[in-house]
Amino acid sequence: MNDASAASPRRSSLHDDVILVLDFGSQTAQLIARRVREAGVFSLLVPPSVSIQEVREYRPKGIILSGGPSSVYEAGAPTVDKRVFELGVPVLGICYGMQLACHLMGSKVEAGAKREFGRASLEIGAASGLFKALPGATSVWMSHGDQVQGLERDFETLARTSTCPHAAVKHRRLPFWGVQFHPEVTHTPHGVEMIQNFVHEVCGCHGSWKMANFLEAEVSRVRDVVGDSRVICGLSGGVDSSVCAALLARAIGPQLTCVFVDNGLLRKNERQLVESTFRGHFDTDLRVIDASAEFLGDLAGVTDPQEKRKRVGRRFIEVFKSATRDIKDASFLAQGTLYPDVIESGHNAAGTSAGIKLHHNVGGLPPKHELGFELIEPLRDLFKDEVRRLGEVLGLPQTIVWRHPFPGPGLSVRVLGEVTRTKLDVLRDCDEILLEEIIAADLYDKTSQVFAVLLPVKSVGVMGDGRTYHNTVAIRAVETQDFMTADWARVPYAVLANISSRIINEVKPRDGEGVNRVVYDISSKPPATIEWE
């Protein structure tokens, strides 16, 4: 499928400074790109198979080689064109990236006598370059089994740990630096400074990239890609699709048609909210389609979460095809896909990260010949916090910009097991009470995502003088910066007690589907995901 949002040399050329991140399959590769952007420099993730000519066309100020799950000495391990080190462009290798570069330039890499996972104490030889203005000893986060054991003589050691003699290195002749640890993660206290040092001190970037620059560049790119064609945008009312629609409205104005699909899997009163908000806010064509019966019919009897996502995705496209037959010159389908969606669907730049779950707007789409549209995804390179900042630049209301995320497949992945209209109604009532109490406790803006999950678990309870045998509802509240990692929110006991009491007492049983037990999810991501399915 042709992706009109894929990174390209022309796209990167719209920015003054660009750092390329070669993604070798690390689950934290996207964090490297994010840290670079936080330093005010535009970054792009590209596969390590990128040709040397393509690298030159990007005109990068620097290149970062990410970590990865492979061993450099294994057959089929991902590699990179050695000429990348001879471009005169500074290169930073992180973990696997360091090992690969050292291996390609004559050093020996093999399994370490002791694997390092977790915090380690780093001793820095000289506080310059990567380590400018850093203390002589600091904590870093290690996650490796292999090490550079025999360092080729053109390298010098910059830092070490008690079990890793070459924890940071520099090539004497070529502009290459390598670190065995992960500066991109929050567990490395001075990691942000190290990346900033690489970007500014080593690469000489100016740090002038801002969200306003991204908006200007993306508006220009969308206009070039779309031309005179019409774009159809799937509008859900969530942050991502709202920002996507606002950006497209800025770029192409009357060429945009927004289609809101009521799939029967929405939050309570969601359809009314979307219609009242977007008909007044956007000066564009908004069409509302009620397809709840079709979606629920597709989900009847389905319990597997991946199959749910696929069916929602397929029906989503079918509804769009039907709804847009009378829209002339419609050639593009716009979606608010974000980079974390791409990563979690296993579609990372290297194509080597594990597929955690399918997103209906990534892995669940049919082939192009069934779709009938080219995809355009203007937010595909952005993280959630960046999308919110973009929404503010576009002038969207705070109530939209800072709304908690909602999954593309809707409540189908929050009703565990088979999805029925009755279960959805019960869950909607639970979720409404939950959000009311979170807002009343002034916790909505202090949490990143809060929602209820209806579990396929029934338990015995007592209400009044009677025995009940009803469902269990799990409450999920998390705090996160980027939605790639998350910690469970420490909601006060009194608030949880009010939530539990109101749900059990106020949610009316329907067709035997009531709630008599509420539990609180205290799992972090990883190892859990934010959504249950």
Point out the residues that are catalytic. 95, 182, 184
| Helix, strand, coil share (%) of the chain residues, nearest 5 | 35, 25, 40
- Best CA proximity match to 344, nearest among 66, 533, 96, 95: 533
What angle separates helix 211-226 from helix 384-393, to the nearest 10 degrees?
A: 80
**In whole angstroms, what is the distance from residue 94 CA to residue 96 CA?**
6
**In whole angstroms, what is the distance from residue 155 CA to residue 153 CA?**
5
Residue 490: CB atoms within 10 A of its CB come to: 10
- Best CA proximity match to 266, nearest among 59, 407, 112, 62: 407
Phi, psi angle pair for 472, to nearest 5°: -110, 135
**In whole angstroms, what is the distance from residue 419 CA to residue 415 CA?**
6
Long-range contacts, stretch 386-391, CB < 8 angstroms, 24+ apart = 386/34, 386/37, 386/211, 386/214, 387/239, 387/240, 387/243, 387/336, 387/338, 388/239, 388/243, 389/211, 390/211, 390/214, 390/215, 390/243, 390/247, 391/239, 391/242, 391/243, 391/246
- The secondary element (H helix, E strand) that includes residue 122 is strand 108-124
